[in-house]
Amino acid sequence: MYLEVKDLCFRYKNAKEDTLKNISFSLSEGSILGVLGDSGSGKSTILRVIAGLEKPYSGYVKVNSNLFCSDKVFVQPEKRDIGMVFQDYALFPHMTVKKNIVFGVKDKSKKEYILKEMLDLVNLNGFENRYTYELSGGQQQRVALARSLARKPSILLLDEPFSSLDASLQEKIRNELNEILRASKITAVFVSHNIVDVKAISDYILICRDGMVVDFYKNI
Ligand code: ADP
Ligand code: MG
């Protein structure tokens, strides 16, 4: 399996009980997993552990056979080659679309090529010199996606990517996100408290409750 999460247990400092309780699941390459659960059920924490922003006290995470954390191993987040899209996009407001997108591309000789590829992918040709505050919410989200994908991450993690958008836009943006993820063939884990979003985008669905996996099934 491309992503393997096994028996993760994690507790925040000063918390009275474990936030993650033996979380296990796996995902094949190119698949999209939707993690669904109520607020506080541990969804964001699962992503944070995969990304290396938190360290579990037991269990392991592997991506493409690379062990990222276990009782003996801890790979720093910047070495994990993971893309993350947050709820608020965290774009750089003082940079243009172009600068935002190529921000994490290390190989300078590839910047122009990757920029073109990403603008095509997220359908933002002609917007490259705008500042992010000159964009709609949906366009900003596409810039955030392009910025994450430009670094060619091994896996993409998305935390509630729709929640700061207008309800009337959500269906359109959901469809756009689905198309972009499919076109990029990325393996992705996407978190939401909204079953409609999860049903629309995921190949597999994991239901999280109170820090535990209560169900995992193929979305048909
Ligand atoms: P979700 O994303 O499903 O809403 P989270 O993973 O953010 O849930 O949070 C799971 C639980 O961990 C909640 O009870 C939350 O209050 C707690 N929690 C989240 N972040 C921290 C933190 N930095 N310190 C202590 N507790 C936290
Ligand atoms: Mg959350």
Q: What is the pLDDT of residues 17-26, one digit of tens each?
A: 999 999 999 9
pLDDT at 115 over 90: yes
Residue 88 confidence (pLDDT)? 75
Residue 150 Cα to ligand 1 middle (Å): 29
Calpha distance 135→215 (Å, rounded): 38
Q: What is the dihedral of CA 24, 27, 32, 38, to 10 degrees?
A: -10
Q: What spacing in Å lies between the alpha carbon of 44 and ligand 1's midpoint? A: 7
pTM for the whole thing?
0.94
Residue 169's pLDDT band, with cuts at 50, 70 and 90, is confident
How far apart CA 18 and CA 20 sit, in angstroms, is 5
* pLDDT higher than threshold 90 for residue 16: yes
Q: Is the pLDDT score of 161 beyond 90?
A: no
Domains and CATH numbers, the chain: 1-80+180-220 (3.40.50.300), 82-152 (3.40.50.300)
Question: Taking each helix axis from N to C terminus, what angle separates 137-150 and 111-121, rounded to the nearest 10 degrees?
Answer: 140
| 163 has a pLDDT exceeding 90 | no
Look at residue 171 in the predicted model and tell me its pLDDT. Answer: 86
Residues flanking ligand 1, CB < 6 Å? 12, 15, 19, 37, 39-45
Q: Indicate which ligand has the atom closest to the C-alpha of 163.
A: 2
Identity of the amino acid at 62:
K
